[in-house]
Chain A
Amino acid sequence: MSAGDKKSKSKKSAARKRAAQGVSLTDALAEAAWSEADAALAQALADFDEADTADGKAARKDAMARLGQALSRAGRKRGLARVGELDEEVDFDAEAYDLNAAVAKTPKTVRIQARGVTRGGEMLAKPRVAPVDRNKRS
């Protein structure tokens, strides 16, 4: 048997082994989806350190912009989508929003402080809202 034949045989048995082990399609898809998200998350971690240790407002603002960008990219690579618009005023619904403040009375109208996150129709994090402060409105 030639070396090439041996190689071919070992590859064949490896392929059969994978088949017998039932290589999960979803696991392979997950690995593919994570491969790019991993790079973006690594970038975000480094950007966070820069933001955390930045000297001065401008440097911090830049680092925060890059951090946000890397996190958004990681989210997109995992199929995550944002819900709502920052500062948007909406009718409060306890099912749809997380109230980000201690209040004595349930507010009617709230302002979105942090957007929610969904994936394929599944809400992973509800938008965080706070009561509208009428005194602060112009």
Chain B
Amino acid sequence: MSGTVIFFLVLYYVVVLGIGYWAMRRGAGEDLEGYLLGGRQVGPITTALTMQSTAMSGYMFLGAGGLGFAQGYWALWYAAGDIGGGLLNLSVIGRRMRKLSQMMGALTAIEYLEKRYPSPAIRLVAGSLTIFLLGFYVLAQLIAGGKGMALVTGISYPLALAIAVGIILIYTFMGGYLAVAYTDFFQSLVMLVGVMWIVIAALSELGGFTAANVAIGELDPTLLSVWGRGLGFEGQWGVVAGALLIFSVGYMGWPHVVTRHMAMSSPATARRAGFWATIWSLFFVPAPYLVGIFAILILPGLDDPEMAIFQVAEQLLPAAVTGLVMAAIMAAIMSTADSLLLQTGSIASRDIYERFINPRASERQMVMVSRGLVLAVALVGYAIALVEPPTVFSIVIFATSVLGSAFLPAYVCAVWWKKANTPGALASMIIGASVAFIWQYAGLVETTQMHPMLTGVVSSTITMIVVSLATQKISPVPPHVLDAMNVSAEVGPIPARYLDATEFGLANEAAAIANGLEEGGHNG
């Protein structure tokens, strides 16, 4: 790694820290408003790019490129689902979940499930599953961070991994300066420009798309097909369906993603942000897969396919650009790891410890529990990543398949199906997670040619429907939940143009005022 790359890498972090410091000085003063409510001033483009920046994990920079390198154009099945996933998620459950969660007073995605499907068992199962699976997701970020750090700095992988884990823990325990939308916005722009730059440089190196495809075809024509290297997935529509589903509808079952709906400021912002997020994804999402495919020609002797993007960047880009792009990628990986760890810690302290073990826990005890779990996840992850690191792709696909299978019907039915009840949701989560897990680890993908995401989601959906219908009499959906669902879906006699101007945040006041007026109110 050249001195120029290191210089621009350091420069990148100085700029990011500078933006964070400037934003804090500008917005905060001595009170909290600039921090807590600053997001209200942020427009849809910044909101969209901030969302995408934090959502793009090590998978995009290591797993996607590695898959493209290993399987050729077959990898684009995953990209196809991913491009529309964000918009689908916002459209199907975004608005209703935002309203319903506020009406029920839920602060976390797990607490929301318990309030919609009233039972401590829901919280216990959902919280435990989420902690377990997010732990795997964190592991993928640690490996990605370690590999990236080793390449960027030239130090050994074990040491680079230790540094990456250390930095992520400092992020999580100290935080502060990173929590500014403008730093994420800047990071997102650098990521997009950088990845596009790598694609263009690769195409330029290879003489354009047609020439690249011709060369790949000469090397191995099956890499140009939609069935993978050696036509290994030919006719396996069950696997293709899973690849499409995992990052499209799968998003709707990820607690760490749907929790964003609960923090949306307004429907108008959400809609416009969804549009910009889709535009961003359209350009960004296919790029890492394509770089991986082009790396087949540019780096034929590549040892670790998951390093395709880093290696292509290093080989083709000017040193200064390589430094900036790699820094942005590293920052994105660490920022995602930090977010995942925070959510894991929050679920452990609030949804498990406070709810089931110590309901009168003090703030300091909660912090201790959160930090303890985060430290344990980081240390276990470090050990696994050091001793026998799996590929980032395999970990992310495993964790997201099981998460999506477990929670997709629970979150979707929570806002769309009034008969979805507690036994249905509980059984759906357990069956969905179990089927996806077993499918993956019993080697059933090869024998059945079905993706674990597909079998998991189908089984959890069927379970939700059958169990909910069978238990309507013994476990009806409580009236207050039905009322909240009715309000969250309310259209009424008001023309659509007024609904466009409706402010989510007033849903509770609106319900209370409507009731108050019905009762005659209290004058004086």
* Mutual binders A and B: no
